[in-house]
Amino acid sequence: MRRAIIPGTFDPITYGHLDVIKRAAQLFDEVTVAVAASAGKHPIFSLDERTALVREAIKDIDNADAEPFGGLLVDFAREKNAQVLVKGLRAITDFEYEFQMAALNYELGREIETVFIMSPPQYMYLSSSIVRELASLHSSVEKFVPEHVARALEAKFA
């Protein structure tokens, strides 16, 4: 059984994340989207809200689920008996940060492999922070996030 973890803050989940989750679900037997507490990032959505938004977004992917976590990612991966961490990679701007995290996770858990999935061109520019900024300015975000996420953003910035 090949199990993968797809970690992130998901504040909120975007179509870019969803694309990576769908592609990972085709490569692995089971995927768990691990929603990080990321308290230091001061997310606008609570951990429960972010997890619920991810669960609704992935409800049609049979071999995917979502769970919140608060500790170290490698510990969560071990708890889930996952062998692989999957991260999406957009253009070159993500590389340094992702390279640093992959190297650190390698030191913390050498048995766990990090695998990168390239974002498709249409989502290369997309990020949760851009979506939050647009929503805060009451601009439409329908092109970038599932409908239930757009509604949650509208409510947050009403």
Question: Interface residues with ligand PNS (CB under 6 A)?
Answer: 7-9, 36, 38, 72-73, 101, 104-105
Q: Is 135 left (phi over 0), alpha (psi -120 to 50) or beta?
A: alpha
Q: Is there a contact between 58 and 18 (Cβ–Cβ < 8 Å)?
A: yes
Minimum distance of ligand PNS from residue 7's CB (angstroms):
4
Shortest reach from residue 119's CB to ligand PNS, in Å: 13
Q: In what order do the strands lie in the sheet with 3-8?
A: 64-69, 30-36, 3-8, 84-89, 113-118
CB of 139 to ligand PNS, least distance (A): 22
Q: Which is nearer to ligand PNS, 101 or 115 (CB)?
A: 101
Distance CA 158, CA 142 (A): 16
Could you give the residue numbers annotated as active site?
A: 17, 41, 90, 128
Nearer to ligand PNS, 118 or 140 (CB): 118
